[in-house]
Amino acid sequence: MLQHFDPKKDYGTPASLSEKMVTLEIDGVEVTVPEGTSVMRAAAMYDINIPKLCASDNLEAFGSCRICAVQIEGRRGTPASCTTPVDAGMKVSTQTDKLAKLRRNIMELYISDHPLDCLTCPANGDCELQDMAGAVGLREVRYGFEGNNHLHAEKDKSNPYFTFDASKCIVCSRCVRACSEVQGTFALTIDGRGFDSKVAAGQDEQFLDSECVSCGACVQACPTATLMENSVIDMGQPEHSVTTTCAYCGVGCSFNAEMKGDKLVRMVPAKNGDANHGHSCVKGRFAFGYATHKDRIKAPMIRDSIDQPWKEVSWEEAIGFAAKRLKDIQAQYGRESIGGITSSRCTNEETYLVQKLIRAAFGNNNTDTCARVCHSPTGYGLKQTLGESAGTQTFDSVMFSDCILVIGANPTDAHPVFGSLMRRRLREGASLIVADPREIDLLSTPHLGDSTHLPLRPGTNVAMVNALAHVVVTEGYEDKEFIASRCDTKAYAKWREFIIDERHAPENVEEITGVKAEKVREAARKFATAKNASIYYGLGVTEHSQGSTTVMGIANLALATGNIGREGVGVNPLRGQNNVQGSCDMGSFPHELPGYQHVSDAVARARFEKVWGVELDDEPGLRIPNMFDAALSGEFRAMYVQGEDIAQSDPNTQHVEAALAALDCLIVQDIFLNETAKFAHVLLPGSTFLEKNGTFTNAERRINRVRKVMAPIAGKEDWEVTVDLANALGYPMSYSHPSEIMDEIASLTPSFANVSYAKLEEQGSLQWPCNDEFPMGSPIMHTESFPIGEEGKAKFAVTEFVPTTERANSRFPLLLTTGRILSQYNVGAQTRRTENQAWHDEDILELHPHDAEERGIKTGDWLGITSRAGQTVLRARVSERMQPGVVYTTFHHPGSGANVITTNNSDWATNCPEYKVTAVQVEKVSQPSEWQKNFQDNHERQNEFLRGSASAHSAVK
C-alpha cells in the first residue's frame, strides 16, 4: 500500500478518514483507497498525477479549473477528478486524446489572459500554472492577447510582507478557500461574475485595511505569482530548505526555513508539522526580520557600572570578567548571594544547562524562569489534582470536542494557529462557552453555532468555576462511573461536600461575577451534557492571586464530568512563550530538578549528584520576586539572565528597576539591548532560533527539533556560552552538540527517558512522557491512570474563592486587565523590529463608552492611568468589547509602561503576579508620566553607551 506520507506531495484533496476500503482501476492500475477518497487523490496515492490548478490537499475539492477532468468507463462526459469520489470497480482513464485536447483548450483560455513574463516573474521556478502549461503541452494561444483582459490590473502592495498582483490571478479561489477553511477569517471573497470575477479583500479594500490577519495561507495556496512574498520578489527562489520550529508562541509550529545559502528567503509552514499541519500566523510566517536587524548585539560587552559606556571585548574577556565577579561576590556575600533566570524562549538544552550551572556551579537553587509570571499556577494546580504539570491533550484533540470551554484565553490572538483549528471545529458545530471579561474574537467566529459568553468581572474566575461545578453536581450531571473508578474517594467526598454548599450556587455568586445565574446554569448543563467537553485556558486564569485555585477548579470540573483521558476532552493550558513548557520541564523552578523532581527528594537528588559530580542543595531557592526583594535588602548581589526581559515583563516596574540597579553584577545574554540589559554589567550576545540546534516543547508536551540554518551572529550558540561560563567558574562542562545535552536530560528525567535526537529525526516529534512505559510518547495523558499517589487516582481539590485584595474603590474605580495582540509577541523585542509594527505600533488603553463618557474621553485622547503602584500614559480607544468598569491594555512596547501600574499582588501558591487585576483611575492628560520621561532619558543614554562601544570598536579596527 503506497500510503506513506510525503510532505512535499500535494494529493489534491484531503484524506478520507473512512476505514472502509474501496478498490478501483486507474489507468489499468488496481488501487485500493479509503471510501470517500477523490479520484484525484486515489490516483496521486499511486503516483498517477492528474494535472490540477484549483485543487490542494489542505482545501475541500472545488472543481472550478476543470484541468483535472478524467474519463470513467460507463459514465458520460469528463468529470472533475477532484470532486468525484471513488466507487468500487470504477475504471478511470487520466490520459486520453480527448482529455489532452480538453486540458490544452482550458489552459489556452487561462493563458490568453495571463502575462507572458515567465522569465522575469517572481514565481519562476515555483509556478503551478507554468508547470501545468508544460504538463498539458500548451504550444499556442489561438485567441491572441488583444481584447478585454486583466493584464494591467493594479498591484496591491499594502501588506508589508506580500504583494497581490491581480494581473496574474486565474481566479481559482484557492486563496479565498484557504482564508475560509484553513485560517477561518473569511477576509477574502470572489467579487463579480464571469469575466469580471476577481479576488477581493474585505469590502474590496486594500489587504492591509481589510480583516486579513496576514497569516500567509492565501500566499501559500496561490498557484501563480498573484500572491507572493515580497522577500521572494526581492531575492528570487530559495535553493534549499531546513525544517525547524517557530520561536514565537506555545503552539510550536514547524516551518521550512527556505534559504539561499545562509540567507533566509521565507518561512513556509511545514505540512508535516504535527502541531500546525501546514498553517501559520503573521509572526511565524513573516516576522523573522529581527534576526538580521541592525540592533542585534554582535559582540560581548562589559562595564564596571551601569552609568558607564559599554566596552566591546572578546568572548574570553567577557566570560572571565563575569566569572570573576560572580566568584568575588560569592566569596564576600555567601553562596546564596547569586542566581539566575532561564529562558522560556531558549531551547530545552540551553534551559537545562542554565539551571545546571546555577545548581552545580553556583551551588544553590536560585533558579527561576519567566513561567513564574505566566503558567506557574498551571504547574502547581495540575500537579496537585492530575499528578502532572502539563496539559492533557494534543491540539488535534479539539477536532473531537463537542463543547469547548475557553477561560481567560484569547487563542485567535495569542495562539493563532490553534485558534484557527478551534474555529474549524466550531464551524463544524461544536458549541462554545467563553468565560472572559472581554468579548474575544473567538465569539465572532464566522459560521459559529451555539455560543455563550460569560462576561465575568476580573478576579472572579474561582467563583465562576465553582458555580459551574456546583450546577454539575447539584443537578446530577456528574460522571459517577468515572469518579468511582478514576478518582480518589476521600478527596472527592470532601470536595463534593464543599461544592454543593449553596454559597457556590450561580444565584449566590451572581453578585460576585456579574454574570446572570441562568446563563451560568445553561453553560454548565451544556458542558456537562456534551459527549466530549474540553477546557482551554490561558493567562487570564493563571495571572491572578487565586490562579492556582482556578487551575485546580478547572481540573475538578473536568474530573466531575469525566472529561479526561480520551480524544476531544481534557484540561488544556495554552502556554505563552515557545518553550514555557520545556523550561518548566527542564528544572527551571527553584524547588524542582528537571522532570519536576523535588530538590528535597534524596533519591532523585542523588542521581543528579552522581552525574553532575557535586552535592546539591536540598532547600528551594529564590523565586524571581524573592530575588528582587533580596537584591533590595543587599543579600542578593548578582544574576545571570538568559533570554528574558524581566525589566519589561515583570510587574511593578519601578520595584524591579530598583532591584536590578542594586545588583553588583548583572549578566544579560540576549539578542538585543533589552530593558533588563540597560541595568547589566556584562552583555553576552544571544543567538536566535535560526542560529542554533536544540529542541522546544510546546503546549501539548510536543518536543520538536530546532535546526540551525545560519551561523550565530557573534559566533556562539546560547548553550555554548553557558558552557564557557561554567568552565570559567571552575565547574567543568563539555558537550560538543545539544544532542549530548538531551542524552543527559533523558538519563536523569524519567518522563524523557526514551527521547533522543535520533528518535526525533525518526518520528518528527515526540510528546512526553516518552519512556519505556510510553515508548512512542503520549499524545493524550491519563488514559488509564494518573501519576499521583499509590493508586494512580486523580485528586479533587477544595477550591475556596478568596477575593483579591486589589479592589476598585472611589480612588481607583476601574479594573485594568492586560493581554496580548496578534501581531506583537510578549515584550515585543522581536516583533517590534519587524514590519508587524504596521498593525500595532503602540499599546492602547481600551475602555467602555460609558466610562469614557463619564470622563469626557474620546478615542485618541492621551490618558493618565494611575494605580496603587504607579502611573503611565497611553492613548485611548473607546470600545464596546470591554464591559463597563474594566479597562484593557497590552504590554508590547516598553515605553508604554503597562507594568508600571501592575502591582506586586500574586498567586497564593506560586507568586505568579496578578497582571489581570489592577485597580486604576483614568483621566485625560497632556504629557507623558514621570516614569515615561525617565524611561526615555535612560533609553537614550543607554543606547548612546552602546553606540559608543560600537564606534570605539570600529575606531580601533
Q: Which residues bind another protein (CB under 8 A)?
A: 336, 365-366, 494, 498, 545-546, 549, 590-591, 598, 600, 619-623, 626, 629-630, 632-633, 635, 798, 800, 802, 805-806, 868-869, 903-905, 908-911
CA proximity to 163, closest of 172, 175, 171, 155: 155
Residue number with CB closer to another protein (377 or 455): 377
Q: In angstroms, give the least distance from the CB of 8 to another protein.
A: 49
Cα–Cα distance between 738 and 353 in angstroms, integer? 10
**Helices and strands (H and E) in the chain: how many:** 30, 35
Q: In angstroms, give the least distance from the CB of 866 to another protein.
A: 13
Q: In angstroms, give the least distance from the CB of 792 to another protein.
A: 21
Q: In angstroms, give the least distance from the CB of 767 to another protein.
A: 28
Cα–Cα distance between 589 and 375 in angstroms, integer? 12
Q: Which residues contact 630 (CB under 8 A, 6 or more apart)?
A: 622, 636
Residue number with CB closer to another protein (58 or 911): 911
Helix (H, G, I), strand (E, B) or coil at 829: coil
Cα–Cα distance between 155 and 624 in angstroms, integer? 51
Residue number with CB closer to another protein (635 or 937): 635
Tell me the C-alpha to C-alpha distance, in Å, between residue 623 and each of 518, 551, 636, 678.
42, 20, 12, 22
Residue number with CB closer to another protein (342 or 445): 342
Residue number with CB closer to another protein (714 or 901): 901
Cα–Cα distance between 181 and 202 in angstroms, integer? 16
Helix (H, G, I), strand (E, B) or coil at 552: helix
Helix (H, G, I), strand (E, B) or coil at 694: strand
How many CA atoms lie within 13 Å of 85's alpha carbon, on the beta-carbon side?
Answer: 13
Maximum pairwise Cα distance, the chain: 92
Q: In angstroms, give the least distance from the CB of 905 to another protein.
A: 6
The residues facing 533 across adjacent strands are 403
Q: Which residues contact 811 (CB under 8 A, 6 or more apart)?
A: 921
Cα–Cα distance between 479 and 475 in angstroms, integer? 12
Residue number with CB closer to another protein (312 or 907): 907
Residue number with CB closer to another protein (498 or 891): 498
Cα–Cα distance between 205 and 704 in angstroms, integer? 39
Residue number with CB closer to another protein (913 or 928): 913
CA proximity to 484, closest of 781, 787, 793, 789: 793
Q: In angstroms, give the least distance from the CB of 371 to another protein.
A: 14
Q: In angstroms, give the least distance from the CB of 631 to another protein.
A: 11
Q: In angstroms, give the least distance from the CB of 934 to another protein.
A: 21
Residues belonging to the chain: 957
Residue number with CB closer to another protein (600 or 747): 600
Q: In angstroms, give the least distance from the CB of 350 to another protein.
A: 24
Q: In angstroms, give the least distance from the CB of 591 to another protein.
A: 5
Helix (H, G, I), strand (E, B) or coil at 936: helix
Cα–Cα distance between 552 and 380 in angstroms, integer? 9
Residue number with CB closer to another protein (331 or 802): 802
Helices in 222-309 by DSSP H: which ranges?
Answer: 230-235, 282-286
Helix (H, G, I), strand (E, B) or coil at 795: coil
Q: In angstroms, give the least distance from the CB of 957 to another protein.
A: 47
Helix (H, G, I), strand (E, B) or coil at 61: coil
Q: Output the nine-digit C-alpha cell for 46.
A: 499511486
Q: In angstroms, give the least distance from the CB of 870 to another protein.
A: 11
Q: In angstroms, give the least distance from the CB of 625 to another protein.
A: 8
Cα–Cα distance between 725 and 577 in angstroms, integer? 26
Q: Output the nine-digit C-alpha cell for 734.
A: 563539555
Q: How many of the other CB atoms lie within 10 Å of CB of 133?
A: 20
Residue number with CB closer to another protein (245 or 367): 367
Q: In angstroms, give the least distance from the CB of 494 to another protein.
A: 8
Strands 682-685, 694-697: pairing is: unpaired
Region of 897 on the Ramachandran plot (φ > 0 left; ψ -120 to 50 alpha; else beta): left
CA proximity to 40, closest of 4, 6, 70, 78: 70
Q: In angstroms, give the least distance from the CB of 935 to another protein.
A: 22
Residue number with CB closer to another protein (304 or 497): 497
What φ, ψ does residue 391 adopt, rounded to 5°? -65, 160
Residue number with CB closer to another protein (779 or 913): 913
CA dihedral 13, 18, 21, 26 (to 10 degrees): -10
Residue number with CB closer to another protein (62 or 608): 608
Helix (H, G, I), strand (E, B) or coil at 818: strand
Q: In angstroms, give the least distance from the CB of 536 to another protein.
A: 24
Residue number with CB closer to another protein (544 or 793): 544
Residue number with CB closer to another protein (290 or 498): 498
Residue number with CB closer to another protein (3 or 332): 332
- If DSSP states are collapsed to H, E and C, what string results for 504-542? HCHHHHHHHHCCCHHHHHHHHHHHHHCCCEEEEECHHHH
Q: In angstroms, give the least distance from the CB of 509 to another protein.
A: 16
Residue number with CB closer to another protein (39 or 627): 627
Q: Which residues contact 465 (CB under 8 A, 6 or more apart)?
A: 407, 550, 553, 554, 556, 557, 799
CA proximity to 474, closest of 454, 440, 497, 451: 497
Q: Output the nine-digit C-alpha cell for 326.
A: 560572580
* 503: enclosing H helix or E strand: none
What φ, ψ does residue 433 adopt, rounded to 5°? -125, 125
Q: In angstroms, give the least distance from the CB of 632 to another protein.
A: 7
